[in-house]
Structure 1
Amino acid sequence: MHLLTIGAILGLFFVYLIRRPLQHLMVTAPRRSLEEAFVPAIQEDPFEQLTPREREVAELVQTGMKNLEISAKLNITETTLRVHLRRIYRKLGIQGRSNLRDFNAL
């Protein structure tokens, strides 16, 4: 009997703990109209999501420059350049330098 009481108290305590975060989500969640839900989103230029430096790196890669050349031209280390490239690949949804070279949005 005591185990059942303790279980019920713990259950109520758990509900109390998760209620506040769930209320916050429900109150702050943006509501969309039916029109917004069914109208397809306008296609944006994928390069708009890149920072100016990432755009600069992408343009230099597309011209065929190697990492060492790009890092010397931009006065950054090759490690920093590799970080920029990884972020570019992730944001554009591509894998590797050859795909970036072939990416024709620039």
Structure 2
Amino acid sequence: MKFILVGIVYVMMCAAAIGQLVINELDCDTPGIDDMEFLELLSDVPNFPLDGYVVVFFNGSENGGNSSYFTVDLDGYVTDVNGLLLIGSNSVSPVPQFLIPENTIQNGADAVA
């Protein structure tokens, strides 16, 4: 009985861990003009399809009202063999899979979800 219970718990834990997507790195305030800003997403699964995922950037300033100022629809995108997807401008190296205009990501008390 204990063996079956341990097996069920193990399977549930493994199933919960597969396919998680996290914000791995964000650089929104580069020196000078913000031409090398980026957002890096990480999945624990290589070549993870991102259909149904949307990245939302929120304005957290007092006057911003915590409203969304930019969204990225990831339908049709897939992470690379390392489970990474890079969102950024042409100035970022390596070149991002999803390109955004320079100085798109706001500085300050903002949020990304």
TM over 0.5: no
Q: Whose strand fraction is larger, Structure 1's or Structure 2's?
A: 2
Which TM-score tier does this pair reach, normalised by the shorter chain? under 0.3
The TM-score normalised by the length of structure 2 is 0.24
The structure with the larger Rg is 1
The TM-score normalised by the length of structure 1 is 0.25
Q: Whose helix fraction is larger, Structure 1's or Structure 2's?
A: 1
